[in-house]
Amino acid sequence: MNGVHLWAVQRITAMFLALAVVVHLVTILVAVRGGLSGAEIIARTSGSLAWFGFYAAFALAAGLHGAIGLRAIGAEWLGWRGRGVDALWLGIGLATAAFGIRAAWGLFSA
């Protein structure tokens, strides 16, 4: 993993996120039309591998994308550089992704 790979991951996740955010917003607009309820959300997502896969990928992409961006800001503005800091950002990125994936799993298995 070096600058080239981080850059590639950030650009690829950006492309996916642009699409995923649109899907997410359209889903919200459609879903709230008949009144929003927990039961209605779970009816859509429970047992749906497609929705689970979509939101798991969304969370992973968002976690990695955000951590790589914050890494650059930390390096430039605060001087946080080095392998230890990189490991910390990787941890933060994966933890962020894990929270999102756990939420997606909760909706899938509900």
Partner 1 sequence: MTGTAEDTLRVSVWRGNEAGGALAEYRVPARANQTVLDVVTYIQRELDPSLAYRFACRVGMCGSCAMTVNGRARWTCRTHVSKVAQDGALELRPLSNLPVIRDLATDMAPFFDKWSRAKGTFQPKDAPDGAVPAEFAVVPPASRQREAADAGIECIGCGVCYASCDIVAWNQDYLGPAALNRAWTLVNDVRDGAKRERLDAVAGDAGCHACHSTQSCTERCPKQIDPSGAIAGLKRSLFWSILPGFR
Catalog residues that contact partner 1 under the rule CB under 8 A: 2-8, 11, 72, 75-77, 81
* Beta carbon of residue 33, minimum distance to partner 1 (angstroms, whole number): 40
Q: How far is 101 from 99, CA to CA, in rounded Å? A: 6
* Beta carbon of residue 77, minimum distance to partner 1 (angstroms, whole number): 7
Complex with partner 1: residue 14 or 36, whichever CB lies closer: 14
User: Phi, psi at residue 82, to the nearest 5°?
Assistant: 120, 170
Give start and end residues of each alpha helix (H) in the chain: 3-31, 38-45, 49-78, 83-109
Complex with partner 1: residue 24 or 81, whichever CB lies closer: 81
